[in-house]
Chain A
Amino acid sequence: MKQLDEFLAEHSFFRGLPREYLELVAGCATNVRFDAGSFIAREGEDADYFYLIRHGKVALELFVLNKSTHTVETLGPGDILGWSWLVPPYRWRFDARAVELTRAIALDGKCLRGKCESDHDLGYHLLKRFTFVLSQRLEATRLQLMDIFGAAAS
């Protein structure tokens, strides 16, 4: 557990989180591994976990009937995977598939949700961090939607 503790403390996502909260979060953490091609999450399933990717690559995919699966985004070392655990109805919105061997820290979002409800300071610390991640993803998605390389260039 001490190793996970240290890993979380060093991760930019948790930087500055008070020690007592870090220990609490570490208590909800497990070290996990996914083989290439395996699914970490499937759309519609309960979103009970989120992940800090330590190694590898994860594709967020959207399955469209009668069409090929569309990769929306890929995530790599240092990235956070999953925010559906924070938002009702707490179900994954996309498939998450390990493109290659992926190692991650899984955090029990269901457990953390309960702790955030009973300790709003913890909730604020976590929401602040997730808001930053979400704002970056939104910014990137907007840019992606513009299809800037499809338009005129020389």
Chain B
Amino acid sequence: MLADPMLPTPYRVTRVIRDTHDVFTLECAPPSASPAFAFAPGQFNMLYHFGVGEVPVSVSGDPGRAEALIHTIRAVGTVTNALQRVRRGDAIGVRGPFGNGWPLASTKGDDVVLVAGGIGLAPLRPVLYRLLAEREHYGKIVLLYGTRSPADILYARELEHWRARFDIDVQLSVDRADANWRGNVGVVTTLFERVKFDPLNTTAFVCGPEVMMRFAIVELERRGVADERIYLSMERNMKCAVGLCGRCQYGPSFVCRHGPVFRHDAVRRLFSAREV
């Protein structure tokens, strides 16, 4: 329970990883007196660059490794550009964790299909850590990951490591590449042809640009995955993160408080509404 959810705690940056030309990962450590940071996969924090502003960012680290708080961030605006310039030893403010996270407990016994697009792999990485830590509780695990180009691939080493395992099917595709690329080229939804899972007992977690999620849903439904087994991570501008300011209102819900993960049948109408 947060003492004051609006009050950021200063965290010390312990490591900065340049993932791609515009994506970076910050590893942070809590103040020495603070308890370890506990979170559920899919939850997010508000990261505060002092003097610049605050942004919501999903936690992308391992929930089982509470000593390091990890966020992967794409530099797209004022605050994220400022965060890109922080160095080891700098302090940033952290509020959180907020939101509901992916429903991992209720998926035990299922095949689990993760569909990630671009930076959408970051909020799903903690899910993979959890699934692999409790591998025996799940059926097939499939990761379909699409990104812009080979240079934009996130967590390349980990992807290689996961691909080398025999108990997870990792498929990767890029939207554009030259002839030196030996992997798949095409949108992420084309990867569904490459994998097998039991649609009646599959739970799907989808995270990426909304248009990508719409097409991923079509493919999942075409294969017989039920609406109530498809979960999406929605992205809206979040400010307070506790459901007070209304900035992230999404129909009757606040993404920060009732989301960011929604079951597809709960947001189906909203998902195709242009006015929301």
Contact = CB atoms under 8 A, between A and B. Distances in A.
Given A61-B179, A149-B118, A154 B55 contact: yes
Contact of A149 (B148, B179, B180, B185): B148
Contacts, number: 91
A138 to B, nearest CB: 12
12 contacts: A61-B179, A69-B178, A69-B179, A70-B176, A73-B190, A74-B173, A74-B184, A76-B194, A140-B187, A140-B189, A147-B148, A151-B209
Contacts of B211: 143, 146, 148
A71 B150 CA distance: 12
B193 A78 contact: yes
Contact of B189 (A78, A143, A151): A143
Contacts of B180: 68
A153 B74 contact: yes
Which of B56, B179, B184 counts the most chain A CB atoms within 10 A? Answer: B179
A154 B179 contact: no
A154 B178 contact: no
B235 A68 contact: no
A143 B180 CA distance: 23
B92 interface: no
A143 B212 contact: yes
Interface string A56-79: 010101000000111111101111
A152 B76 contact: yes
B138 interface: no
Interface string B169-184: 0000101111111111
B76 A71 contact: no
A150 interface: yes
Interface of B: 55-57, 73-74, 76-77, 80, 117-120, 146-148, 152, 173, 175-187, 189-190, 193-194, 208-209, 211-212, 215, 235
A79 B184 CA distance: 13
Given A76-B194, A140-B190, A144-B186, A153 B120 contact: yes
Which of A71, A147, A151 counts the most chain B CB atoms within 10 A? Answer: A71
Interface of A: 57, 59, 61, 68-74, 76-79, 97, 99-100, 139-140, 143-144, 146-154
B191 to A, nearest CB: 9
A70 B190 CA distance: 18
Given A73-B185, A139-B215, A153-B235, A148 B209 contact: yes
Contact of B177 (A71, A148, A151): A71
- 10 closest cross-chain pairs (CB), A and B: A149-B118, A149-B148, A69-B179, A68-B178, A148-B209, A71-B185, A143-B187, A74-B185, A74-B184, A153-B119
A17 to B, nearest CB: 20
Contacts of A150: 148
Contacts of A77: 194
Nearest to B190: A140
Q: Which label, helix, strand, loop or mixed, suits the secondary structure of the A interface? A: loop
Given A78-B193, A140-B190, A153 B76 contact: yes
Contact of A154 (B74, B175, B183): B74
B178 A149 contact: no
B197 to A, nearest CB: 15
Given A73-B185, A76-B194, A153-B120, A147 B175 contact: yes
A38 B56 CA distance: 48
Contacts of A149: 117-118, 146-148, 152, 175, 208-209
A99 to B, nearest CB: 6
Contacts of A151: 209
A140 B186 CA distance: 7
A154 B73 contact: yes
Nearest to B80: A154
Contacts of B80: 154
